[in-house]
Amino acid sequence: MQNPDSPKYQQQKLSAIRAAAAVFARKGYHGASTTDIASELGIKQGSLYYYFSSKEEALEQVCLFGIRDYVQRMEEIAASEQSFEAQLMATVTSHLSSYREKNEALKVHNDERLYLPEIKRIKLKQMGSHYRELLEGIFNAAVANGQLRAGLDCHFAAQTVIGACNAWGDLIVRDSSLDVFEVIQKLTEVLLFGFRPQPAHT
Amino acid sequence: MQNPDSPKYQQQKLSAIRAAAAVFARKGYHGASTTDIASELGIKQGSLYYYFSSKEEALEQVCLFGIRDYVQRMEEIAASEQSFEAQLMATVTSHLSSYREKNEALKVHNDERLYLPEIKRIKLKQMGSHYRELLEGIFNAAVANGQLRAGLDCHFAAQTVIGACNAWGDLIVRDSSLDVFEVIQKLTEVLLFGFRPQPAHT
Amino acid sequence: MQNPDSPKYQQQKLSAIRAAAAVFARKGYHGASTTDIASELGIKQGSLYYYFSSKEEALEQVCLFGIRDYVQRMEEIAASEQSFEAQLMATVTSHLSSYREKNEALKVHNDERLYLPEIKRIKLKQMGSHYRELLEGIFNAAVANGQLRAGLDCHFAAQTVIGACNAWGDLIVRDSSLDVFEVIQKLTEVLLFGFRPQPAHT
Amino acid sequence: MQNPDSPKYQQQKLSAIRAAAAVFARKGYHGASTTDIASELGIKQGSLYYYFSSKEEALEQVCLFGIRDYVQRMEEIAASEQSFEAQLMATVTSHLSSYREKNEALKVHNDERLYLPEIKRIKLKQMGSHYRELLEGIFNAAVANGQLRAGLDCHFAAQTVIGACNAWGDLIVRDSSLDVFEVIQKLTEVLLFGFRPQPAHT
DNA sequence: AATGAATGAGAGTTCATTCAT
DNA sequence: TATGAATGAACTCTCATTCAT
């Protein structure tokens, strides 16, 4: 709020966002109290307002933090010249490792962003749409050059990828013993080939 | 509070559960107020306690309502002698039409049941596990008789089906213009064959 | 309320008063709910209003019931021509056996009557004052004819008797294993002779 | 909620306890609202929770405050080497001046402690029993060395002293025009010698 | 940079009371 | 004579927010 740009402040603010993300992920936006967040940070409740002007702003920051470089990575994937398979696996990898690395910010974005007022959701919506469109673009290109079957509903396909990744992301966040790499492998395979094909196809 | 078990009471109680489901789905458990639920029902806030002894009990009832016959339908599917494809499509159909028909109770079960205290979640957990195991059983049987490829991780597969259905269920609840039947068709196809195969395979 | 004077109604109303007395004694006026009273009576909450027009009226009835013949018995004692000792013992006996027999109505009168509005307390106040004055009169007469020492503060003495009886009454109500007759004996003796005197005096 | 243990906080907390005592004494535990207590303290209702975590805790604190040094004074009396008369008078004095000085905390302890849950009453029970036992010990000693008549029921005697003091304490709290010293004198005399003896005995 | 203290709005819950049946 | 159903007011408690220090 006051001297915003000192590196120390930035660093503390980042800690605050992570703390808020952890608490929101655990208790939900409405179920979490500012006291919870403050004590996660190791400060007193009133002091939180040094980093966030309101609880709502905390949610906003967490959501932005959760989706920001996740979208950027998708840009890189879409711009790359890899095969469709490689791009799909990169997408799944990016998505699921976001869940694990960034702790819970992406989960918060997915589950709680609807509690932000319309106006604060515009930016998030743009980023989300942008993400989906990039992914759709990858599908379209793959259909065009024959890597995927003609007639595939690319919008549907993109949504399905995102949905499946979110679902597995939740499981990963909740169960830390899961092997993320294994999940990535298997999920990519299923998305590509389904359950059906005999080993010969793979 | 009372339990006259008169049909009239039962009927009103069902309305109350539906109203609670709608509100919880829209605003989340903690974001929803008992006033919201009551006014959805057309009664005054205090009167809600004639049907629920607490807000928490309302959530419990909604979750039970949301998952109950959804599990039962899976029992029927698992007991049937259909091909794997038919069973998978029946599963997806049951899951997604639950979302549409029962309004939002199943969504509430998925998203909000964690806010119930451990003890009230036991029954739900049992039902959920039962569901997953039935589905896993279907996969195991299909692998055994060669309908699915050997080496398929059936636990992973079941989780993926459930996750993908939940993800599409959310979209269906949120966007009532979606054609549920079309989603069912496409999702089943993707799960069976993936995005990859050329038309010849389908 | 409606047909007030049928013997059956009177009998049920008496039961209602006793039930209210029991509940008020156990939980206090404000701590007791009309549901408590109704269920003590074995009826449903709303039905209580057939016997009492309000919770407050229930308290009033209980208090009146608790003090009524208790005062009348004091009138008889005061009018009798017994020795002071006999009158004192009769007083203590009447007081303590009221506590035991009438269940808890007298206790309620003593502990809860202050929660009645001024206007509903007038009658009770009169009866209470009357009681104390009768007792004071007994003391005055005994001083006058030399049975008690000259200079005794009779107002103080009467208050002390009442206070000691109430205190023991509470204990009796709370501990049903107490031997009421023994308490009466010992209390009367202490009031007459105190702790000090050697056996010779008794 | 917090416990800064700063002297300022301690001082305000003590004020809060006194305010709660005053209100509980006047209206009873259930009849008193937290709004009443807060406005007695001159703060807003919600702010009360800065000092008490619940209304029940407020009652607990008041009861502890009411009985604490009252018991301690009895320890001193019991340990002293005075005559029985002096000890009895000291007891009555301590008891009745507690009522006057500590405002109404002791009265609240006597009348409202039963509304505390069993577990919060354990400590109070111990202190109360300790008090009674100390008093009984004084009686026993006096019987042993011939200051009191043989065969005196010391348990009964102690209960009677406590009961009579409580009864007069109530009157003192309710009627501030009473001369406490005079009450102490007369009550001690009655307890020692009863109403009966001729002046010669005193 | 952080905290103790307070606030006011709103939450869930209880409950005395009413009334048609 | 009694009840099921509803109500509205009051209550306890929580919490985001503010601010002097």
* Nucleic acid strand E: bases within 7 A of protein CB: 1-20
What is d(CA C107, CA D119) in angstroms, rounded to the nearest whole number? 26
Number of CB atoms found within 10 A of residue A198's CB: 10
Minimum CA–CA partner of B169 in chain A:
A163
Contact B148, A196 (CB under 8 A): yes
Look up residue D202 and give its amino acid.
T
pLDDT digits (tens, 9 = 90+) for A88-147: 999 999 999 988 877 689 999 999 999 999 999 999 999 999 999 999 999 999 999 988
Structure tokens at B65: 């309502």
What's the rounded Cα separation, in Å, for the pair D172 and B60?
54
Whether pLDDT at C139 is above 50: yes
Residue count of chain A? 202
The per-residue pLDDT for C1 is 46
Name the percent of chain B lying above pLDDT 70.
95
Q: Which two tokens stand for residue C11?
A: 């009998």
**pLDDT on residue A189:** 93
pLDDT band at C4 (very low <50, low <70, confident <90, very high): low
Residues B60-82: tens digit of each pLDDT: 999 999 999 889 999 999 999 89
Confidence check: pLDDT of B84 > 90: yes
Nucleotides in chain F near protein beta carbons (<7 Å): 1-20
Q: So what's the pLDDT on residue D57?
A: 97
- Amino acid at residue number C176: S
B8 CA vs E18 C1’ separation (Å): 21
Residue C8 has phi, psi (to 5 degrees) of -65, -40
At residue B195, the pLDDT reads 79
How high is the pLDDT of residue A190? 93
Rounded-to-integer distance, Cα C134 and Cα D166, Å: 23
pLDDT of residue A103: 67
Q: How far is CA D101 from CA D171, D181, D192, in A?
A: 14, 13, 25
SS3 state of residue D33: coil
**Is the pLDDT score of A199 beyond 50?**
no
Angstrom distance (rounded) from CA D68 to CA C173: 27
Predicted TM-score of the model (pTM):
0.90
Nearest to A19 by CA among A1, A2, A42, A3: A42
**Protein residue closest via CA to C1' of F14:** D46
Phi/psi-derived region of residue A153, left when phi > 0, alpha when psi is between -120 and 50, beta in every other case: beta
B and D interact (at least 3 Cβ pairs within 8 A): no
- Distance separating alpha carbons of residues A21 and A98, to the nearest angstrom: 13
Nearest residue to nucleotide E8, by CA–C1' distance, is D46
Q: Which amino acid is at C80?
A: S
pLDDT value at residue B3: 62
At a CB cut-off of 8 Å and minimum separation 6, what does D104 contact? D21, D22, D24, D25, D26, D173
Q: pLDDT digit string (tens) for C177-197?
A: 999 999 999 999 999 988 876
Cβ proximity of C100 and C15 under 8 Å: no
Q: How confident is the model at residue A8 (pLDDT cuts 50, 70, 90)?
A: confident
Distance between D125 CA and the closest CA of chain C, angstroms? 15
Q: How confident is the model at residue A16 (pLDDT cuts 50, 70, 90)?
A: very high
- Substitution target in A89, A149, A192, A196 with the highest count of B β-carbons within 10 Å is A196
Mean pLDDT of chain B: 92
pLDDT of residue B201: 43
Q: Which residues of D touch C164 (CB under 8 A)?
A: 160, 163-164, 167
Residues of chain C neighbouring D174 (CB-CB closer than 8 A): none
Q: Which amino acid residue lies closest to nucleotide F17, measuring CA to C1'?
A: A54
Q: Which fold has domain A7-193?
A: Tetracycline Repressor; domain 2 (1.10.357)
Contacts of C197 in chain D (CB under 8 A): 149, 193-194, 197, 201
Q: How many CB atoms lie within 10 A of CB A12?
A: 15
Determine the average pLDDT of the residues in C49-69: 95
pLDDT of residue A100: 82
Alpha helices in chain D (DSSP H): 7-27, 34-41, 55-79, 84-101, 105-112, 118-144, 154-174, 180-193
CA of D62 to C1' of E9 (A): 29
Closest CB from A31, A139, A171 relative to B115: A31
* 8 Å CB contact between D135 and D162: yes
* Residue C198 banded pLDDT, cuts 50, 70, 90: low
Give the domain ranges of chain A: 7-193
Question: Average pLDDT of A170-185?
Answer: 92
Instruction: Show residues of chain A in contact with B166, CB under 8 Å.
Output: 163, 167
Residues 36-65 of B with CB under 7 A from strand E: 45-46, 49, 53-56
Which residue is the nearest neighbor of E11, CA to C1'?
B33
Quote the CA–CA distance of D52 and D117 in Å, as a whole number: 16
pLDDT at D199: 47
Using alpha carbons only, what angle is made at residue A139 by residues A138 and A144, rounded to the nearest 5 degrees? 100
**DSSP designation for C162:** H
* pLDDT at D201 (0 to 100): 43
> Using one digit for the tens of pLDDT, what is the confidence trace for D171-201?
998 888 999 999 999 999 999 988 776 544 4
- CA D31 to mean position of chain CA atoms: 21
pLDDT of residue B197: 67
The three-state secondary structure class of D129 is helix
What pLDDT score was predicted for residue A4?
Answer: 63
The 10 Å Cβ neighbour count of residue C133 is 15
Residue A30 with chain B: CB contacts under 8 Å: 28-31
Average confidence (pLDDT) over B26-33: 95
Collapsing DSSP states into helix, strand and coil, what is residue D44?
coil
CB-strand contact A27/F, under 7 Å: no
**Is any atom of strand F within 7 angstroms of residue C198's beta carbon?**
no
Mean pLDDT of A179-201: 83
Chain C positions touching chain D (beta carbons under 8 Å): 27-31, 111, 115, 139, 147-153, 156-157, 159-160, 162-164, 166-168, 170-171, 183, 186-187, 190-199, 201-202
**Contact call for A196 and B192, based on CB within 8 A:** yes
Determine the pLDDT at residue A198: 55
Q: Who wins on pLDDT, B197 or C59?
A: C59
Q: Which residue of A has its CA nearest to B116?
A: A27
pLDDT of residue C144: 93
D149-177 per-position pLDDT tens digit: 888 999 999 999 999 999 999 999 888 89
Confirm if D130 and D199 have CB atoms less than 8 A apart.
no
Q: Do A195 and B190 touch (CB under 8 A)?
A: no
Regions of chain D where pLDDT drops below 70: 1-4, 103, 197-202
The letter for the amino acid at A22 is: A
| Candidate from B21-35, B188-202, C106-120, D119-133 with smallest mean pLDDT | B188-202
